[in-house]
Structure 1
Amino acid sequence: MSQTKSTKCYIEEYESGPGKMSARLREKVTGRKVDLGITLEGKEGFLRFLSSAGVNKLMMPDVFSKDRHEDCIVVSGDADFDAPDEIRFIFNENLSYSFA
């Protein structure tokens, strides 16, 4: 049975290969991985969302910081899995993510 959860996240940028940068969500403070359970269809919209943060990095730098809390991404929805190192959401009509 899934639970409705809400968490504040930051964007972690990392090198996924030689000269290739990628990004993923991590929970503010704990640093645990945040998985949105995104399907292939939903991935394009989420990537556009993440890229808008990169373009506006100077205006909202805390969205890239684990410890600073002025800017963040709030993710809410049905949690499929909630462990000390990861929270995984179900990609359905209840899932939402937005800058805060």
Structure 2
Amino acid sequence: MSDVTEVRCYIEEYRNPQGQRAGRLREKGSGRKVDLGSAPETETQKFLLFLSAAAANRSVMPDVFSRDRDDDAIAVSGEVDFDAPDELRFVFNDRLSYVFV
């Protein structure tokens, strides 16, 4: 059984190629991209709903959008598929979790 890794993340907001507002997870401090692995469409939609809750409550937990401030974060834990200086990719399985902390 693989070890479980946990990282504290923030949401980086950006514009996608279509000009729409989008967000992705990055590790606090290092800024490396955090990928939750290949997930079914239903799970992707659940994750997007989770991220939208952060946007709706930005005044309550502003540090979720900050690389350096650490009062608020998203803790992601699970088995790691790929670990590099610019990206951390998890295996999407039943051991993967993400919560606001």
TM-score relative to the length of structure 2 = 0.93
Q: Say which SS state the counterpart of residue 42 (structure 1) adopts.
A: helix
Matched with 1:78 is 79
Residues 4-52 of structure 1 deviation map (CA, whole Å, 9 limit, x = unaligned): 2100000000011354100000000000000001412310100000000
Structure 1 residue runs of 4 or more that deviate by more than 3 Å after TM superposition? none
Segments of 5+ residues of structure 1 without an aligned counterpart are none
Matched with 2:14 is 14
Greater strand fraction, Structure 1 or Structure 2: 1
TM-score relative to the length of structure 1 = 0.94
Asked if the contact 1:2/1:80 (under 8 Å) is kept, the reply is no
Matched with 1:54 is 55
Q: Say which SS state the counterpart of residue 94 (structure 1) adopts.
A: coil
The CA distance in 2 between the partners of 1:23 and 1:79, in whole Å, is 21
Give the % identical residues: 56
**Pair 1:38–1:59, CA change in 2 (3 A):** farther
